[in-house]
Amino acid sequence: MMEWTIGQMRPNRWAPMFRGLGKRRWPTALLPSPSAGCNPPLLLHDSQARPCALSSGHTGQHRSRPAFGRGGAGRKLALAGLLWVGLALTSSAATVSAQVEPDDVHVGDTVTFSLIFEGGAPEGSPGLPSLPGLTILPGISQRTEVTIQNTQQTIRYIYQYSLVPTQPGEITIPPLRVRVGNQWLTSSPVKLRVRPPDAEPRRETAPVFLKLVVAKTNCYLGEAVPVEMQLYWRERIEDVRYPQLKAEGFVLGRALTPSETIRRVGPYEYRVALFKSVVTPAKAGLLTLGPAECSLSVMIPVQTGRRDFFDPFGFFGPRVRAQPTVLTSEPVLMRVLPLPAGPVPPGFNGAVGQFNLQVSASPTTVAVGDPITVRVEVSGQGPIETLNLPSQPQWTNLFNAYPPTSTVELTDPLGLAGTKVFTNVLVPLRPDITALPPLQFSFFDPVEGRYRTLTGPAIALTVRPATVAATTLPPQTNATGSRDQEPPPEDILHIKSRLDDLASGRPPLVQRGWFMALQAAPVLAWASLWMRRRRIEALAQNPRLRRARQAARQLRDGLRQLRQQAAAHQTDAFFATLFRLLQEQLGALLDLPASAITEAVIDERLRPIGLPEPVLIELHALFQACNLARYAPADTRPDLMALLGRFEVVASQLQQRHL
C-alpha cells in the first residue's frame, strides 16, 4: 500500500558532516512514500489555508473508469464521506499554543513567532499588540496542516509572524486572547533571550565568510579562553569541513558539535554555524590566534541556453556546479600576561581559575594503622579536568598518605566549569594525633589578578593505640607422645626381660648454626623496612626528584607505545604520543607544567642552562615534525622508526640531565 504526502521538504542539515548546509527550501512537493500497515497517516500542508484534495493510495490494479460514477451510488458515497469529515472536524475542542524560534538570538536577528490553533480556526488573522523591545515586520504567513491516521483527523492552523529584537535582555511575549468560534482562547507566554549585537566588520557582506570570535583578548598564562568560529552563508554550500584554527603558542582544548542559528548582518539574513572550542596560552607576550580556515564547496547556478531533457519545465530548479573554496578568517591579537613573580604560595601547581574548596573526613575515631578517607571537593570556573591536588607537607610526619583518586562532574560543555572530587586515604602513624591538619589549595585568580589559597577546616580526630591480638596457646598435657606410632597389638605383650637400647641424644637448637642465623632475619627485615621508609620520606620532601622519577616511568611507557604505533603505522597517534612525551620530559627538567612546554622553551630555557647544541637541534626538529603532523599533514607516510630512534637519543640526554 502507498500513501501520498503533500508537505514542505527540509534538507538534512548536518549529514554527513554538515553536508547540504545552505540548501534552499523547496516548494510544496508531492512525494510518494511506502508505508507498512493499514490506514497510514495522510498529511497535507496548504500555505493559503484553502481546501486541498486528498490523493488516496492504490493497490496496483488499474481501473479505466473513475472511482465515483454519475449514478446515485457515487453521490451517496461522496455525501457519506463529507459527513464523516464534518463529524471529525467537530470532534475535538479548540486549543491554541505559541512558540518562538530561535529563542536565543542577538539584537537585529530575525525570529519567527507562531500561533498554532488545533480543532478550530480563528476569525481572521490574529493581530499582535505592540511588544516592547520587538519590531513586528509586515506580513503574516499562514498554512494549514491536516493529519489523518486511522479514523482520527487533526487540523492545525498556523500563523507565523517575523519579529526583530531591538534591545538586549530577556523579553517575554505576553499571552494572547483569540476568538475561535464561540469561545475565547489564551496562549501561553513565550520567553526570548536577546544578546547584545556583534560588531560586524565591513568586509562581512560576502555571500559566505568565516569569522573568529574570542571571549577575551587579554588573559593570563594558563587561563582557558573560549573561542568560536562562525561560518556565515546566504548561498547554498556543501561538503563543509570542520574549521582548522592556527594556534601557535596555545594548547587547543575540546571542540563541541556545531550548532546552527540565523542572524542578520546589515541588510542580509545569514544562516550561521557555530563551532565552539577552547584555547589555553602556553607562553606570555603578544600572540596571534588564527586565522581559522574552513574548506567547503559553494553551489553556483549554471546558466545554459538548452533545456534539460529530463527536466523540461524546470521543476528541479536551476542547474548548479560546486566551486571548492577555502575561507579564511581574520586573526585575533592576544595579549597574554605572565603570572606574578611573587609571592607564590608554596602549594601552587599551576591552577588558574576561580575555585571553591570543601573537605570532609571519615571515620574520625580510629586506631593507629586504620585508614581515614578524606574527601576533597574542588568546584568553580576553570579547567576542572586538569586540576591536580598539591602535596600536603603538614601530613607527612603524621600520616601515611596514598595517591588520591578523582572523579569529575562537568557543568559546562567546554569543560570550563564543574566539580572535581579527590578521595585520599590516610593512615595515622601515632596515637597522639588529635586533628587532621587543614588542607591547602592554591590557585591564581585571573579576575582579581592575584594568587589565592583556600584552607579547609581542621578536623578533630581520636586515634587509639594499635591493639595486639592475644596468642592462644594449645592446652598442655603431661602425656608424652611416642616417637613410633605402632599398631595396637593383637594380643597381650610378653614381659620384657631387658631394657631397649637408649636413643642417641641430639644437640639443642642454640648450638645449631641455622637456628642462630635465623635470629638475624627479623633484624634484617626491620632494617630494610626502615631504609625503605627513609627513602619514601626523602622522595616526598624532594618534589623535583619525585617528578624526575615519574618522568622516567612515563618515558618507559611512552617508548613502548611509540614502538607499537610505529609498527602499526598509526601516524596521528604516534605524533600525539611523541608530543606528550616531549612536554613531560622538558617540563620535568625545567620544573614547569607539561602544558606550558612549546618549541619556544628550547631557546628561552634550555639553551641558557647549557644543553648541548646537537640536542637542541634535534628537539627543534622533533617539535617541527609534531607541528607539521598536527596542522599540515602530508600525503606521504613519514619514517616513524627513524623519528623514534632520534627521540630515544634525545631522551637519554635529557635523563642524564635529570640525574
Total count of domains within the chain: 4
The gap from C-alpha 310 to its chain's centroid, in whole angstroms, comes to 48
Tell me what pLDDT residue 598 has.
Answer: 85
Do 379 and 406 fall into the same domain?
yes
Which of these three, 429, 464, 499, is where a domain ends? 464
Q: Across the chain, what does the average pLDDT equal?
A: 79
Tell me what pLDDT residue 501 has.
Answer: 59
Residue numbers of the domain that contains 393: 354-464
Of 101-105, 462-466, 614-618, 625-629, the one with minimum mean pLDDT is 101-105
315 has a pLDDT exceeding 80: no
Do 218 and 322 fall into the same domain?
yes
Do 249 and 173 fall into the same domain?
no
Do 160 and 276 fall into the same domain?
no
Give domain status of residue 446, yes or no: yes
Half-sphere exposure of 150 (CA within 13 A, CB side): 2
Tell me what pLDDT residue 600 has.
Answer: 83
Of 43-47, 181-185, 284-288, 319-323, the one with minimum mean pLDDT is 43-47
Residue-level length of the chain:
659
Which of these three, 464, 497, 529, is where a domain ends? 464
**Average pLDDT score over residue span 52-65:** 40
Give domain status of residue 310, yes or no: no
Q: Which amino acid is at 551?
A: A
Give the separation between CA 189 and CA 169, rounded to whole angstroms: 16
Give domain status of residue 622, yes or no: yes
Tell me what pLDDT residue 542 has.
Answer: 74
Do 385 and 407 fall into the same domain?
yes
Tell me what pLDDT residue 62 has.
Answer: 41
Which of the pair, 54 or 270, is modelled with greater confidence? 270
Instruction: State the pTM of this model.
Output: 0.43
Neighbouring CB atoms inside 10 A of 357's CB total 18
Half-sphere exposure of 633 (CA within 13 A, CB side): 10
Do 212 and 327 fall into the same domain?
yes
pLDDT in tens, 521-573: 898 999 999 998 888 887 777 777 777 888 888 888 988 988 898 888 888 88
Are the C-beta atoms of residues 603 and 623 closer than 8 Å to each other?
no
User: 479-512 burial, b if ≥16 CB within 10 A, otherwise e?
Assistant: eeeeeeeeeeeeeeeeeeeeeeeeeeeeeeeeee
Residue in the block written with cell 479514523: 151
Q: CATH number for the domain including 220?
A: 2.60.40.10
Do 284 and 220 fall into the same domain?
yes
pLDDT in tens, 252-274: 999 999 999 999 887 789 999 99
Query: Which triple of cell numbers denotes residue 509?
Result: 637448637
Give the separation between CA 277 and CA 228, rounded to whole angstroms: 6
Do 362 and 452 fall into the same domain?
yes
Do 268 and 232 fall into the same domain?
yes
Tell me what pLDDT residue 45 has.
Answer: 39
Which of the pair, 57 or 577, is modelled with greater confidence? 577
Do 548 and 650 fall into the same domain?
yes
Give the separation between CA 236 and CA 590, rounded to whole angstroms: 52
43 has a pLDDT exceeding 70: no
Are the C-beta atoms of residues 140 and 160 closer than 8 Å to each other?
yes
- Please name the helix (run of DSSP H) or strand (run of DSSP E) that holds residue 547, with its range, or none: helix 543-567
Question: Of the segments 24-28, 416-420, 653-657, which one has the largest average pLDDT value?
Answer: 416-420
Give domain status of residue 557, yes or no: yes
Do 166 and 246 fall into the same domain?
no
Are the C-beta atoms of residues 231 and 275 closer than 8 Å to each other?
yes
Tell me what pLDDT residue 589 has.
Answer: 84
Tell me what pLDDT residue 634 has.
Answer: 65
Where does the pLDDT of residue 40 fall: very low under 50, low under 70, confident under 90, or very high at 90 and above?
A: very low
Q: CATH number for the domain including 417?
A: 2.60.40
Are the C-beta atoms of residues 137 and 269 closer than 8 Å to each other?
no
Do 106 and 227 fall into the same domain?
no
- What string of DSSP letters covers 135-172? EEEEEEEEEEEEEEETTEEEEEEEEEEEEEE-S-EEEE
pLDDT in tens, 455-487: 999 999 999 998 654 334 444 444 444 444 555
Give domain status of residue 100, yes or no: yes
Give domain status of residue 171, yes or no: yes
38 has a pLDDT exceeding 80: no
Of 20-29, 281-290, 428-437, 511-520, the one with minimum mean pLDDT is 20-29
Residue 22, Ramachandran bin (φ over 0: left; ψ between -120 and 50: alpha; else beta):
left
DSSP character at residue 215 = S
**Average pLDDT score over residue span 354-379:** 94
Give domain status of residue 135, yes or no: yes
User: 246-267 burial, b if ≥16 CB within 10 A, otherwise e?
Assistant: ebebbbebebeebeebebbbee
119 has a pLDDT exceeding 60: yes
pLDDT in tens, 266-295: 778 999 999 999 999 999 999 999 999 999
Give domain status of residue 571, yes or no: yes
Of 70-84, 150-164, 340-354, the one with minimum mean pLDDT is 70-84
For the chain, percent of residues with pLDDT exceeding 90: 32
- Please name the helix (run of DSSP H) or strand (run of DSSP E) that holds residue 424, with its range, or none: strand 417-428
Half-sphere exposure of 172 (CA within 13 A, CB side): 5
**Average pLDDT score over residue span 165-189:** 88
Helices 640-658 and 543-567, axial angle in degrees (round to 10): 170
